[in-house]
Structure 1
Amino acid sequence: MSQTVHFTTRPEDRISISQKTAYAIGMLVNNTQAAALPAMMIILNLGLGVDVMLVGLIGFIPRIFDAVSDPMVGYISDNVRTRWGRRRPFIFVGALAAGLIFALMWQLPDGYSETFYFWVFMAASILFFLAYTIFATPFVAFGYEMTPDYHERTRLQAFANTVGQLAWLGVPWFYAIMANENLFRDKVHGARTLAIAVGIFIAVLGVVPAIFCREKFASFPKVRARKTFSQEMVDFFKGIAVTFKCKPFVKLCAATFLVFNGFQLGISFSLYIMIFYLFNGDDGNAGKLNGWFGMLTSLCTLGVIPLTAWISTKIGKRSTFLITISLSIVGYALKWFGYNPEHPYWLLFAAPLVAFGTGSLFTLMGSMIADVCDYDELKTKQRREGVFGAIYWWMVKVGMALAGLLTGILLKVSGFDETLGNAQSQETLLMLRVFDIGIPLATSLIAIFIIATYDITENRAHQIRLELESRRGKVGENSGELKQAAD
């Protein structure tokens, strides 16, 4: 086999544990916002009686606003200069606003029409996603620029995603908590109370990276003079077009879109399968199994994340992706045998392998996009982490929105009818299992073929860095120690 070239990390490129911890707390808040809303949306259907198609629209339409707000906030945070930096003011304000809105949006009164709940929650969702964007887009960009080192980027993403994974330990229990009759009058009451707790959590911990992290490119010079609003808009849309022409970035977006949103769409059916197929309409037992499956997947993910980082330093990020996503495909296939009404907890055997997909994806992608930002600077002479991060996460969120919309559509296609309760047809229950397993399996396979052609290797990334440092006048005799090791 050919040799793989490895470069050691310079001491000055290491990120201190305090900075990693502050950033990781922000990742926990970021993941909580991403996970909590979809986990609680089922209450609109099973608690307030809103039709599944309308719930799907609530999940989809606010993402249309993200199509503008995400890259716009990224563009602004790339180009703004304040005494507090480019990213930190947005993170601070976004965390407070998102926490407040999330707590309020679930305080829906009893006894109103389906139309009322639809429009009120739709408006609240749009406001929440705007606040979430103000926090998340600069926060993600912050992580891309904290170190220029190929491997330290992966270590940072691994550390942050390990802490962020704690959100996925708790969120699978949300339905069991909201449906607990010993704690709340009903599921709607449970959602109201839980939303307040989640909102406080987002607001209090979300400001931590804004207060304690320090920006590397806070004073990075602009390459153009002050322009009018219309000129800025022209530059903004030109920048978006240039970003989509960056082939390595487009491949990362496509792979993430397929892997993560295939996973999200699949698990949208899991709770329905547990309630109506495994437990014959028993909310309590279904909620417990859903909690155990989610928690076990998250616990395994905590192990997968550092393992992914370690493997990537040995064989590279691309090869690591191909291995870990292949293992997750095996996990999805095992779920078919795990959905057994006589032995419902067999489903847990699939969790460790499924975790390889969810655990490795954002650890590798966050690090790889940071490499792409260097590649882009070499081409454009601009630091555009905000735009890259915004478009990347916009693709993720659009996929999540499509997952929400398709969930409603595919539930209709399957013949699911909430008024039938546990009398759903066998054909409906079969279709739900096919959607749950087949969709993420197929999308992951396509993603593997896409990343197989990704070409920013460790050696290429190192050469790009040297060229950038030479351009900035920062390269010296100690430009990096080279160590070669055989595969």
Structure 2
Amino acid sequence: MNQLRRSTKFAYGIGQVAEGIKTRGFDYFAFFYFTQVLGLSGSLAGLAVAAALVFDAFTDPIAGHLSDNWKSRLGRRHPFMYAAAAPLALAWFLLFFPPSELGQTGLFLWFLGFAVLVRASMTLYHVPHMALGAELSDDYAERTSVVQYRTLSGMVGGFGVILLGLQFFFPETPAFRNGLLDPSGYPAFAFFTGLVMFVTVWYSAWGTRREIPHLPAPPENPQPFSLRATFEEFRLAWENHSFRALFVGTSAFAVSISIGTTLGTHLNVFFWGFSTGQISILFIALAIGFGVGVLLSGYLHRHFDKKPSLLVACLVSSVAGSAAVALRLMDLLPANGEALLLYIVSSLLFAMGVMAGVGYTSAGSMMADVAYDQFLRTGRNQQGILFAATALSGKLGSAGGHFLVGVGIDLIRFPLKADPAAVIPDLIVRLGVLSLVSAPFALAGVYAISRYRISRESYEASRRGVPEVG
């Protein structure tokens, strides 16, 4: 089970579109919508997202355990992928359609409740989907190709939703120079993106159905589901040194990324004063860079291996992501409104995108190698629990980032439902400083990832000594 058909990799990869929409939708639209459009306090908005993420994080190992041990004519992974499509799309739409005249408590409960439902539905799909990617091939290089398809599709979903949203659902109008402040665009945006989620999730399951007979089978005598068994599986995975390195590293880096993305819309609207058209240009630069990075990752893995590629990507993307704000705070950039400013910020985002694409592809491929390494060590196929744990690390980090941003916005006393032209300069400076809190978390993530042990040489040596998986 080495080389795969392109149609299979395409179908598998396109399933990541839904995850990209969900992630970028929460980061760039939902948080901003509930705080700056509906008026929910930053602390309550951050708490709602963080609580939903923590709930979601601890359901990931449960979903992993269930799909690792599921027996059906559709295999272990596909039943969950099919089942998640409709609940995910419906919960996503309702998230952006709260009743009018809700107060702070009502808005908080609505945001929390539907954030939990969206994330629970996504977990039901995404954990089996990630595990499926590790099972489609046991070839070291082919796994990178599978992850490239998945990562590029996630990019299309994530950045596509931003660009389509800005251009078609949040256009500039006489009443709203920045369309993101216009409440009328959000329900239509949610309906369209929810529909795309449903279609791509369903197609991913249907398009990979031919591989079901070739995938690893569940244990002959699986243990009945229990929380204790699930966390025993996690404990077993935790004994793998390389797994620990990736888990801790991605958790810390996820905090850094979450701070940057959650504050991204606030920075673009208030710190930089960009219009929706200019914000679209920024995301085009970021998306192109990300795509270049994903394609570049295969070359880097062949010539420098995966771990060095990931370490360099994490360091450079962190510097590029913070550089523009730091330079502005030192008064080393052109004033807002000058064309050169947009060019500089776009160029830095392009560089960050390249490194982010390399990083996402490298981390995903490295975790697939950990899954194989774990099989060699224990004789157990733990792809579901390992990728559930990967999702757990990212979600715990993201929860921390959202909560820090929400509390931070309230601590600096940043106004709600604010007119960008009316926000005083001192608050703009505080917003920029708040965004730089991401840097120490990125450095901690780099240190943890440096402890990862699997290389191409060690992987191939181990593989030659045992039968193939499945």
With the length of structure 1 as denominator, give the TM-score of the two structures: 0.86
The residue identity in structure 1 corresponding to 2:228 is V
> More deviation in 138-147 or 183-192?
183-192
> Is 1:211 the equivalent of 2:238?
no
The Cα shift of 1:297 comes to: 0.6
Deviating 4+ runs (over 6 angstroms): 183-186
User: What does residue 433 of structure 2 align with?
Assistant: 434
User: What does residue 237 of structure 2 align with?
Assistant: 243
User: What does residue 407 of structure 1 align with?
Assistant: 405
> Is 1:35 the equivalent of 2:24?
yes
Cα separation, partners in 2 of 1:314 and 1:186, compared to 1, 3 Å: closer
User: What does residue 443 of structure 2 align with?
Assistant: 445
Identity of aligned residues (%): 20
Q: Residues 311 and 446 of structure 2 are in contact (CA less than 8 Å); yes or no, is this contact kept in structure 1?
A: yes
> More deviation in 115-124 or 389-398?
115-124
The residue identity in structure 2 corresponding to 1:220 is A
The Cα shift of 1:56 comes to: 0.8
User: What does residue 22 of structure 1 align with?
Assistant: 11
| Aligned residue among 286, 296, 321 for 1:307 | 296
Alignment of 1:319-468 (within 5 A): 319-335=308-324, 336-337=326-327, 340-342=334-336, 343=338, 344-345=341-342, 346-418=344-416, 421=419, 422-436=421-435, 438-468=436-466
**In 2, distance between residues paired with 1:13 and 1:166?**
26
User: What does residue 479 of structure 1 align with?
Assistant: none
> Structure 2 unaligned runs (5+)?
none
| Aligned residue among 144, 155, 159 for 1:154 | 144
User: What does residue 63 of structure 2 align with?
Assistant: 73
Q: Residues 277 and 429 of structure 1 are in contact (CA less than 8 Å); yes or no, is this contact kept in structure 2?
A: yes
Cα separation, partners in 2 of 1:131 and 1:356, compared to 1, 3 Å: same
With the length of structure 2 as denominator, give the TM-score of the two structures: 0.89
**In 2, distance between residues paired with 1:185 and 1:443?**
29
**In 2, distance between residues paired with 1:226 and 1:151?**
31
> Structure 1 unaligned runs (5+)?
1-11, 280-284, 475-487
How far does the alpha carbon of each residue in 1:409-434 deviate from its partner, in whole angstroms, 9 at most, with x for none? 11123231226644444333223222
> More deviation in 86-95 or 160-169?
160-169
User: What does residue 54 of structure 2 align with?
Assistant: 64
Cα separation, partners in 2 of 1:200 and 1:463, compared to 1, 3 Å: same
| Aligned residue among 58, 79, 100 for 1:110 | 100
User: What SS does structure 2 have at the residue aligned with 1:304?
Assistant: helix
The Cα shift of 1:45 comes to: 1.4
User: What does residue 90 of structure 1 align with?
Assistant: 80
The Cα shift of 1:444 comes to: 2.8
> More deviation in 171-180 or 130-139?
171-180
User: What does residue 252 of structure 2 align with?
Assistant: 258
How far does the alpha carbon of each residue in 1:115-156 deviate from its partner, in whole angstroms, 9 at most, with x for none? 222212221111111101001010011111111111111121
User: What SS does structure 2 have at the residue aligned with 1:268?
Assistant: helix
The Cα shift of 1:211 comes to: 0.8
> More deviation in 163-172 or 370-379?
163-172
**In 1, distance between residues paired with 2:45 and 2:319?**
31
How far does the alpha carbon of each residue in 1:244-267 deviate from its partner, in whole angstroms, 9 at most, with x for none? 222211111222223343122123
Q: Residues 39 and 171 of structure 1 are in contact (CA less than 8 Å); yes or no, is this contact kept in structure 2?
A: no
Cα separation, partners in 2 of 1:135 and 1:374, compared to 1, 3 Å: same
The Cα shift of 1:341 comes to: 3.1
The residue identity in structure 1 corresponding to 2:171 is N
Q: Residues 96 and 207 of structure 1 are in contact (CA less than 8 Å); yes or no, is this contact kept in structure 2?
A: no
- Greater C-alpha radius of gyration: 1
